[in-house]
Chains A and B, each alone.
Chain A
Amino acid sequence: MWQVVQKVFAQAWQQFTTQSLALLPNVLVGLLFLAIGTALALLAGRVAKFLLRRSAVERRANKIGLSSWLERAGVLSATAVLVRLVQVAFAIITAALVMYSLDAALASDLTRRFFLYLPNLVVGITIFFVGILTARVVSRSVLIGAVNRGLPAARLLATLARVGIILLSSAVALEHVGIGRAIVPSAMLILLAGVTFALALAVGLGSRDLVARWIEDQISPPTPAEADQIQHW
C-alpha cells in the first residue's frame, strides 16, 4: 500500500517538475515581457507627455473647444487623457505578449475571442464612462442650480440625478457587452418604478406645501415690489 502511494507521489512530482521545467522558460519570458512592457508603458507615457506638451496640445485643444468639453466632463487636461491612452495601449500589447509566451494556442484562442468581443466591449466601456462623466456634470449643475434657486433638497436632487444617470448608463453598457440581457432591463424597470413610487410618496406626503407654493408661484409669480430692488451691476 505504502509503495503504491510512494509511486503515485513520485509520478506526480516527476510530472510536475517536468511540466514546470518545460513551462519555466515561457514563464520567465512572460515575466520579462511584463517587466519590459511596464517599463515601456511608463517610458511611453513620459515621452508622450513631453511631446504633447511641446506640441502645445492643451492650447490646440483649448482653441478647438475640446478643453471646454473635457472640462465640463470633469477632465481637466487633454494631455493627461492622451498619455493615459498611450499607456493603456502598451498595457494591452504587453498582456497579449505575456499570454502568447505562456500558451500560444490558448493565447491565440483568447485573442481571437477578444477581438470578436472587442467592439462590444469598447462600446460598453465608452457608454459607461460617458455616463459617469455626464452624471458628474449633471449632478454638479443640479446641485448649484438647486441651491441658487432655493430648493430645499439640493444635495438629494443632485445625488438622484447622478445615481439615475449612472444606473441608466450601466444598464445600457451591460446590455452592450451581453451581460444579463434579460435581467438588466427588468432590474431597471423595477428600480425606476420604485424611485417613481418613492418620489410620488415624498411629493404627496412630505412636500405638499412646497409643491403648492411652487404651483402658486407659477400661476401668480411674486410681484417685483416683493422682490429685492437692488440693481446688482
Chain B
Amino acid sequence: MSAREILRPEVLARLGHLGHADIVVGIPSYQNAGTIGHVVQAAQTGLAKYFPGAQSVVLNSDGGSTDGTPDIVANTIGPDAAVVLVSHPVRPIHRLSVPYHGLPGKGSAFRTIFRAAELLGAKACAVADADLRSITPEWIHLLVAPVLDQGVDYVAPYYHRHKFDGTITNNVVYPVTRALYGQQIRQPIGGDFGVSRALVQHYLGLPVWDSDVARYGIDIWMTTEAICGDFSLCQAFLGAKLHDPKDPAADLSAMLVQVLGTVFRLMETHAERWDAVQGSEPVPIVGFRYDVGLDPIKVNPARMVDHFRRGVRDLESIWRTMFDRADLEQLKQAASQSGSGFSIDDRLWTRLVYALAAAYHRRVSERDALVRSTLPLYMGRVASFVTEMADADARQVEARLEQLCMIFEQEKDYLRRRWSAEI
C-alpha cells in the first residue's frame, strides 16, 4: 500500500480479485439497519435489470454502525454477487457533530467509493443514501444511464417532495447556487447522484478530503465542483424521496452552520467564477416526470414566528455587524406584524442571505456564530413561506420558488458589492 493509498490492503485485494467493473454503486451507511437491505436490493435489481451486460459492483462503505447494518448488507446479497463491504474512517469529531444527513464521515465514505471506482476502472459511479425508503431499481438506471449513454458527467437527483420539505434547499441552497454559478440544479444537496470516470478522478484529485468541506458539506461540494469544473450536467427525475425520519431533536443551527458554511467557503474558492456569471440556464432533466401523492405534514408557523421575534429582540447586536440598517428596520417591522400578516419578502430575504455570505467571508465575527445567529431569520422566512403557500399546490410552490430565484439573480450585484467591501 502506498503512502497515499486510502484503501486498506484487504479491500485492495478484494478489488484486485474483482479486477474491473463498468459500474460501481456506492452506498455510504451509518446505523441504517432498517433501510439498507432495501437499498442494496434496489441497487442489485437495477443493475441486473438495466445493465445486464455490464460488470457491476455494489460497494457499501460503513462508518462503524453498531446496529448490524453491515450484517444486513452481507445477508442481503447473493452468494455470487459482486459486492464489496468496507468501512470508512470516522474520527471521533464526526460522531460528536451532527452532520445534516445523519451520516458521520460521509466525505470519507465518498472518497472510499470513488477510489474503489477508480481502481476498478468504472465508467460510471452512482451513490445512493442508505436511509432511503423510496428507492427503486429505476433510480439506478436513471443515475447511471445518462453517464454511460449520453456522456453526462454529473447526474443530480430531481425529487418530488412535499411543498414544505427541503426548506434549506428551497430558500437558500438552490437559489444561491443557481444565482452564483448559473446552473439550475434543483437539488444541489440531494445525496443521490451519478458521476463519470472523469469526474471521479477530478474529485479525487482535489485537496479537500481532510477538510471541513468533506466532513460536513460533501453534497454541495460535489455539485459545485461539477459546475465549476465545466463538466456536463443533467438531472434525473427519481419520483418521491422518502427516507428515515431525522431526529427531531437534531440541532438545526448546527445543520445551518454545516450547510451554509460549506456554501460560503466554496464561494471563496470560486469567487472569480461566480463573479463572472449573470443569470442562469436550465439543466436537462431525464426520466418520466409524474406527480406523486405525498402525505401531509404538520407545520406550526406560530412557533417559528416566536423564534424569529426572539431573535429580533435579542440578537440585534450581532446582526448589526452583518446587515444594513434599513434591512434591520424591516426585520423589526416584520416582527411587529400579527400572525396572518407576518411576512419576510423575497428581496429582504435575498439581501440578508447575501449579507451573511459577505460577513462570513470578511470574518466580521466568529464565522460559526454568525451563521448560528441567523437561525431565527431562517425560521421567520420558513414561517413566512409556509403561511403564504398554505393553500398552494406543488406547481404553484415551484412557480413561487422560481420567483425567489429570479430575485437572487437580480440582487447579485448587492452580493458583489458587499463581498468586496473593505472592513
Contact = CB atoms under 8 A, between A and B. Distances in A.
A143 B164 CA distance: 29
Contacts of B303: 228
A72 interface: yes
Given A74-B365, A232-B167, 11 more contacts: A71-B366, A144-B253, A145-B372, A146-B314, A147-B307, A150-B307, A230-B164, A230-B165, A230-B382, A231-B166, A231-B246
B363 A71 contact: yes
A148 B376 contact: yes
A155 B317 CA distance: 11
Contacts, number: 88
A150 B363 contact: no
A211 interface: no
A217 B248 CA distance: 14
B228 interface: no
Interface of A: 67, 71-72, 74, 76, 137, 140-141, 143-148, 150, 154-155, 221, 224-225, 227-233
Contacts of A146: 314
Nearest 9 Cβ contacts at the A-B interface = A229-B297, A227-B248, A154-B314, A231-B165, A71-B366, A233-B168, A224-B248, A229-B298, A232-B168
Nearest to A155: B314
B392 interface: no
A71 B359 CA distance: 13
Contacts of B101: 233
Interface in B26-45: none
Contacts of B245: 224
A228 B311 CA distance: 19
Nearest to B311: A147
Interface string B145-185: 00000000000000000001111110000000000000000
Nearest to A140: B369
Contact of A228 (B300, B306, B367, B375): B300
Nearest to A227: B248
B259 interface: yes
Contact of A221 (B249, B298, B300): B249
Contacts of B167: 230, 232
Contact of B375 (A140, A148, A233): A148
Given A137-B366, A227-B248, A233-B255, A144 B372 contact: yes
B376 A147 contact: yes
A76 B169 CA distance: 31
B292 interface: no
